[in-house]
Amino acid sequence: MKLTVSGKTNDYSEKLTVKELIVLENIETPEYVSVSVNDEFVKSGDFETHLLRDGDYVEFLYFMGGGC
């Protein structure tokens, strides 16, 4: 199955969940990452069950606070 992850298209095994992809991609501080699949956010509680499909576009996002 082909997925586009953070702008790069790669081949992955079938029946891959968001959580499994986080592990495969060695995502730093996975407890703080937000995941968007095809421009829709996946709830962190659904990472273990949300199956990715061929052609999905996945982004890993970190929200930062700050300011003056």
| H or E stretch at 61 | strand 57-61
Hey, where are the domains in the chain?
Answer: 2-61
Residue 37 sits at φ, ψ, to 5 deg, of -120, 120
pTM attached to this predicted model: 0.88
Residue 65 has pLDDT above 80, yes or no: no
Write out pLDDT tens, residues 32-54: 999 999 999 999 999 999 999 99
Assigned CATH for 2-61 = 3.10.20.30
